[in-house]
Structure 1
Amino acid sequence: MQPIPIKTTVVGSMPFPGWLEFSSQNLSQFGPADINEMIEDAVVASVHDQVSAGLDVITDGEQTRFDFNLSFYGYINGIQNNETELRRFGPPAHDQRGKHNIVEPLTAPKGLGVVEEYLRLKRLAPEGQGLKVSIPGPYTLSGRLLPGSLYKDRWEVTEALLPLVNKEIADLVALGVPEICVDEPSMSCYAYREDTRRFVDIFNRTVAPGVGKTRLSMHLCFGNYKGRSVGKKSIAPMLPDFLDMTVDELHSEMTILNFSEVNLLARFAEKFDVAVGVIDVKSYYIETPEDVAERIRKCLPYVPAEKLAVAPDCGLSQTARWAAKQKLTNMVAGAKIVRGEI
């Protein structure tokens, strides 16, 4: 298939409709059939918002997930909720996120739920629409888990989670999923201080079932809990080691960096297609189509149009739905402007 120049897509998450937020906090009032109907309706709404914006590739908006990865803990045996809250008041920050205890060896006998998400998306999306699913990588997935006595540290927890994610990817590949995006923001957040070669090894073993069988993409960002970053905002520490990732497309935030490291995208483009964040998900300024076009033009000297995809910097789950819809619509319009120029 001929590649789409300046492909438009999203990272994974879309905002929850307000009614879904309310319902998820009052689940005891609903029966199983009510809940299934709400899930379907939320995915239909998310698909509608993305298709109406004109995106080339869409997701299900991660409408069945709490946070982009924490809901996966509900599929994993051996995890016990830890009710301790380090801080409950004051400005929102990452130390308000609770952690969970590991009390038994980690297993996921029924999978991680992404297969069901894909089958639902495939059924509800328009025929011929580009689709992808997202799944957190094991290093990022380990971030809210306390090793306890079973595992020595976060690295060992990651190794315990790796085969669970690996198996889910294998099951998705068997279904013919056209694209799998592995979310590993923790790797980009900590590339400046951790062993990047070790990150590469972990990632490549995780995605092994999909190599050569589906399109593999990787999402890197610097955190977006309540619209706030947590990592050092620089892609330079990822080079050169991240060039050895076994991946077809690598996504990086760029708007939040004010495109200060846009020249480094040329290094990534030597090995991969490159998805660039051209929408600021942490701001309620609505980028105009010309804003987006200007940002895309900054990328083209370093990434050829046929290798370039554009997306928001990160997932849109922390962005109000009205703003997310307008930002995506204008992102698509901006991409069309530049497509017309080339």
Structure 2
Amino acid sequence: MQPLPIKTTVVGSLPFPGWLEKASQQLDVYGPADVEEMIEDAVIAAIHDQVAAGLDVITDGEQTRLDFNLSFYGFIKGILANHAETRRFGPPAHDQRGKHTVVEHLTAPAGLGVVEEFRRLKRLAPEGHILKASIPGPYTLSGRLLPGEIYADRWEMTEALLPLVRKEIADLVAAGCTEICVDEPSMSCYAYKEDTRRFVDIFNRTIAPAVGKARLSMHLCFGNYKGRSVGKKTIAPMLPSFLDMNVDELHTEMTILNFAEVHLLEQFAERYDVAVGVIDVKSYYIETPEDVAGRIRQCLPYVPAEKLAVAPDCGLSQTARWASKKKLASMVAGAKLVREGL
């Protein structure tokens, strides 16, 4: 069980400072020491924004990840960029994200970089906060890969990626990480049409090294590239299969659903702690603390306060920093309003 009622947390990502986004477009002019200094400064800024908001759980803001999947492909051997498969013009959509073709069996000799991110966070973060590391699961990680002639389909690529992610999770535990979130939005996006029992099996094998050794959470959403969803926005197809996920906490979007399926959280709460999205990351309406409190109160008939955590619907990387800071502050204030009234 979590240590306090209505814990406040984030999924993982925060927006980049404007200067980091600019600098990342011209990295060839910087030396390795310059790059590392920029990364540290960006992580310090992300930590500051979370601490200033009053969050209970903080991350490094995923400041070293320029894309949810593509950044990890830099650590994986056996793939080549396939720009011919990427749409470049027109309105933003997921098919404008880069694709890579598998040209040899997938390996990650130096790991996936998450352990280094956690060690940096641990060194820079102030005491008194729970530190969380996040990592995409193998099914989601396979999402921008084309099988080429090496693998038959996405399922085979997922199986090839699974031991790479599993090892990174084991190494996180060895590095002292006690809170690990595995992001599998592709599972929630495609639960309505794929074998959900297969999803459960894949996920449970992935996180096996950390079970009983760290607090494990699973993030499910419907996509957030350029503030746009890609999946069918319903959590109903996840049930009952996802009740067999071997995790401590399950996080799902809820504000974007306008809380239409909030009653289904009761089934998840029988099995897990539940982190509920109470902030709309796809809107620039800035929620007030009273808005957030109202959303939390909609959850309480179905999730006991001691099992409830609140977070934005998804990562904040696609939301401007000025708005993210205001939204997080309102989220913490709204949680405090409800907590004080319990």
Q: TM-score range by the shorter chain?
A: over 0.9
Report what 1:302 is aligned to: 302
SS of aligned partner of 1:89: coil
CA distances 1:285-308 after superposition (whole Å, capped 9, x unpaired) = 000000000000000000000000
Question: Separation in 1 of the partners of 2:180 and 2:237?
Answer: 25
Residues 224, 230 of structure 1: 8 Å contact kept: yes
Residues 77, 107 of structure 1: 8 Å contact kept: yes
The residue identity in structure 2 corresponding to 1:131 is L
Classify 1:80/1:86 alpha carbon distance in 2 versus 1 (closer, same or farther; 3 Å).
closer
TM-fit CA distance, 1:86:
3.9
TM-fit CA distance, 1:87:
2.4
Unaligned runs of 5+ in 1: none
Residues 69, 144 of structure 2: 8 Å contact kept: no
TM, length-normalised to structure 2: 0.99
Report what 1:329 is aligned to: 329
CA distances 1:153-207 after superposition (whole Å, capped 9, x unpaired) = 0000000000000000000111221100000000000000000000000000000
Question: Separation in 1 of the partners of 2:236 and 2:87?
Answer: 33
CA distances 1:135-154 after superposition (whole Å, capped 9, x unpaired) = 00000000000001110000
Report what 2:66 is aligned to: 66
Matching of residues 1-342 of structure 1 within 5 Å: 3-342=3-342
SS of aligned partner of 2:79: strand
The residue identity in structure 2 corresponding to 1:146 is L
Residues 6, 309 of structure 2: 8 Å contact kept: yes
Classify 1:2/1:83 alpha carbon distance in 2 versus 1 (closer, same or farther; 3 Å).
closer
SS of aligned partner of 2:83: coil
SS of aligned partner of 1:87: coil
TM-fit CA distance, 1:128:
2.3
Question: Separation in 1 of the partners of 2:313 and 2:212?
Answer: 27
Residues 134, 180 of structure 1: 8 Å contact kept: yes
Question: Separation in 2 of the partners of 1:182 and 1:58?
Answer: 15
SS of aligned partner of 1:3: coil
Residues 249, 272 of structure 1: 8 Å contact kept: yes
TM-fit CA distance, 1:90:
1.7
The residue identity in structure 2 corresponding to 1:252 is T
Residues 2, 307 of structure 2: 8 Å contact kept: no
TM-fit CA distance, 1:85:
4.9
Unaligned runs of 5+ in 2: none
Question: Separation in 2 of the partners of 1:83 and 1:192?
Answer: 30
Residues 13, 317 of structure 1: 8 Å contact kept: yes
The residue identity in structure 1 corresponding to 2:331 is M
**Equivalenced residues, count:** 342
TM, length-normalised to structure 1: 0.99
Question: Separation in 2 of the partners of 1:111 and 1:7?
Answer: 31
Q: Percent identity?
A: 82
Question: Separation in 2 of the partners of 1:152 and 1:45?
Answer: 43
TM-fit CA distance, 1:69:
2.4
SS of aligned partner of 2:180: strand
Question: Separation in 1 of the partners of 2:191 and 2:2?
Answer: 34
Question: Separation in 2 of the partners of 1:98 and 1:133?
Answer: 24
Residues 11, 311 of structure 1: 8 Å contact kept: yes
SS of aligned partner of 1:84: helix
The residue identity in structure 1 corresponding to 2:156 is E
SS of aligned partner of 2:257: coil
Residues 2, 273 of structure 2: 8 Å contact kept: no
CA distances 1:7-28 after superposition (whole Å, capped 9, x unpaired) = 0000000000000000000101
Which segment is superposed worse, 138-147 or 167-176?
167-176
Q: Which runs of 4+ in 1 moved over 2 A?
A: none
The residue identity in structure 2 corresponding to 1:198 is R
TM-fit CA distance, 1:270:
0.3
The residue identity in structure 2 corresponding to 1:316 is L
Question: Separation in 2 of the partners of 1:51 and 1:195?
Answer: 40
The residue identity in structure 2 corresponding to 1:306 is E
Question: Separation in 2 of the partners of 1:85 and 1:332?
Answer: 42
Question: Separation in 1 of the partners of 2:69 and 2:282?
Answer: 19
